[in-house]
Chains A and B, each alone.
Chain A
Amino acid sequence: MTTTVQAVGLRVRTGRHVAVDGVDLSLGAGVHGLLGPNGAGKTTLIRALATVLRPHDGRLRLLGQPMDGRPDLRKVRRALGYLPQEFGYYPRFTVAEFVEYMAWLKEVPGTGRRRAVRRALERVGLADRAGSRMKSLSGGMLRRAGIAQAIVNEPELLLLDEPTVGLDPRQRLDFRALLRELGERSCVIVSTHLVEDVAAACTSVVLADAGRIVFHGTPDEIAAAGGAGDAGDSPIERGYSALIERHRAAPAVTL
């Protein structure tokens, strides 16, 4: 399996705070859930992988490119899809115009750009709203438009920060199917609070707490870590609670 993301001792600061503190991580194709409580450093890690934040220390390779020194960011970004936690958009643009604009910025060739836009909108179920202004969309539709712009360039590395916020149950089911499809060829990293999304769609789970990775394994392995006495309504929730509690009680593990 080709390694898309490789981090060794990665430290990332947000202001004076070290939000990601010595992360070791190696991810290839597949859907990887990034789980953790608030303040765990999930968004900061995603932002560093999206090349928006520069690492403060450690080594990071994205798509085979080292990110230290003077990296060829343009090459990496061309193969990157990113949905930030706070998704900004131009409210006067139509959905199709916005996705086309983002495709142009991602240097999708002009000849196939319109086709790529159409396909991205179909994949997120927004083809019928292609002509609607962005400002007229509901919260769930906006999130789907955000996913459409993230996948319009068929990225090798797709970073989705809280992508299911605002989606109704049916849309979440469709989204999980889309994730599984995308994960067949790309490295998809999904940061979320929703443990059941991870259980349903992810091939691996990265559990973060206080800027560190405390667990990296399959959803079944997380579920197996929990017991009847741990907090949660499902095996994976109980496993999640157990792993966080164990980490807080003992030094972090490096995986």
Chain B
Amino acid sequence: MSGIVGIELRRSSALLAGAGTAVLGAAGLYVLAFTGQTGLWDQQWNLLAAFQRIMLVVLWPLALAAGAWQAGRDRRSRIEELLGSTPAPGWRRLRPSALAAALGLTVGYLLVLAAGAPRVATAAGYPGSGWWAVTAVGVLALVAAGFLGLGVGRLLPYAYTPAVLGAGSLASLLAAIEATKIGDATKPGPALLLPFFTSTLSEFQTVGGSVSAGQAWWLAGLVAGGLVLYLATNRLVRVLAVVPPLLGLALATPLLTITAEKAFPIDPAAVTEVCTTDGGPRVCVTAAHSRTLPTVVAPSREALRLLAKLPNAPASVHEAVPGLGRPQPASEAWVDAGNLSQTDDPAELTARILAGAGTPLCTDDDESAYLDVLRARAVTAAWLYGRHPAPGPAFSAAEQNLRDKMWATLVAWPAAEQERRVAAVRTAGLTCGDQAAALGAGAGR
């Protein structure tokens, strides 16, 4: 059969479906370069694998439509009569085209991974764990789409079936994304049955083993169901095509009925600290960002030097990881993980470490409080840096005006009071307190 599979690979829609997957997927990765957002996937193999899964929202309907198109080939070619006079049973005749579709889609999906690989290989410090399982489930999802398309295309052999199936599934998947936003984010169960992830992962997260296992069961059920539907030669077998997906769902449900924390847990290896060992003040980043350590050291030590004017000044700088629940010791300055990749300017990075006097941002969802805290942290950074505004991005005139007034209020106080207020901002930050209130320089508190 291998010779026939080779012919099907070359001449059926499998090659086109695979090439389309590869081209669209690679374009989806690199189009983010225009907006400087490749960090969403190029920092870790895990992120690349997960981002590929997000792109399935487009690739999945395309594979579905490609499968349905392939299933209509005999009708379009008016060859059914000739095929009907041959001894090979229908299921045997259709196997090579199904295999070719699976191979084409698999290679196309893996080519997207290969397209992103050079960038990840140069940008990523920590490889991440379990990315191969995320990729394997992605392949399974795409093959499931192809087989379902083949099955539905054979069941409904109309010229418009591929277009309706592709557009309909895209609309359905987009509606499903909206539905997941309404649901309880802490219980992602139903969303995990979708062939794609509905949001990106952070560099510190991984995809839980039970999620990959559950999704594999469910998608394998869809693969088998689609294949049975495609190869079925009578009505009874077509009806039986629902059995594998139901079985897959039954096996997947217990594995996918978990909280978001267990579905996408923190990867302990990714948050392990990697620190300087040169005898100078210690600067530590997470293993996930270990590649940034050389560029972080000098700005961090400069920040420590500037923080030294405060009482109980910190002696080391550490990358803060959200969600770990570890309290910040007074001897440490913490910088939000996101700040490490936000700038290439050492002076700006120093200012970012000084924001909140070496404490990470910690606010509730109240937007006005959030903005007040940001302003208080920026003014604190400026005071420690010795220049207002401190190096960093420009703001609107109205926003800068507010910050200027806060700065003027702060520096109008006696030097000891200024130092006390900035120290209070740091103290509040260590316990996730209200830093705007601690500064009290016109933030309305």
Contact = CB atoms under 8 A, between A and B. Distances in A.
Contacts of B86: 77, 102, 105-106
Interface stretch (B55-63, B75-83, B285-293, B344-352): B75-83
Given A90-B77, A102-B86, A104-B88, 8 more contacts: A75-B87, A88-B74, A89-B79, A92-B12, A104-B3, A106-B87, A106-B88, A107-B87
A238 to B, nearest CB: 35
Contacts of A75: 87
A106 B81 CA distance: 14
Contacts of B88: 104-107
Interface string A65-89: 0000000011111101010101111
B85 A82 contact: yes
B93 A88 contact: no
A76 to B, nearest CB: 8
A136 to B, nearest CB: 14
Given A84-B82, A88-B79, A90-B11, A78 B4 contact: no
Given A90-B11, A91-B77, A93-B11, A110 B82 contact: no
Interface of B: 1, 3-4, 7, 10-12, 73-74, 77-89, 93
B70 to A, nearest CB: 11
A156 interface: no
A50 interface: yes
For chain A, the bracket of interface size reads 20 to 34
Given A88-B78, A89-B77, A51 B7 contact: no
Contacts of A82: 82, 85
A101 B77 contact: no
Nearest to A79: B87
B93 A105 contact: yes
Contacts of A50: 85
A88 B81 contact: yes
A149 B74 CA distance: 16
A249 interface: no
Nearest to A75: B87
A88 B77 contact: yes
Given A73-B87, A89-B77, A104 B82 contact: no
A92 B11 contact: yes
Nearest to A93: B11
17 contacts: A51-B84, A77-B85, A84-B81, A86-B78, A86-B81, A90-B73, A91-B77, A92-B11, A97-B10, A100-B4, A100-B7, A102-B82, A104-B3, A104-B4, A106-B87, A107-B88, A110-B3
A228 interface: no
List the 3 closest pairs (A to B, CB-CB), nearest first: A88-B79, A88-B78, A77-B87
A250 interface: no
Contacts of A88: 74, 77-82
Nearest to A106: B86
A69 B93 CA distance: 25
Contact of A101 (B7, B84, B87): B7
A253 interface: no
A42 to B, nearest CB: 15
A52 B11 contact: no
Nearest to B75: A88
Interface in A17-61: 47, 50-52
Contacts of B78: 86, 88
A76 B80 CA distance: 18
B15 to A, nearest CB: 10
Nearest to B74: A88
A47 B81 CA distance: 9
Nearest to B8: A101
A97 B7 contact: yes
Contacts of A47: 81
B76 to A, nearest CB: 9
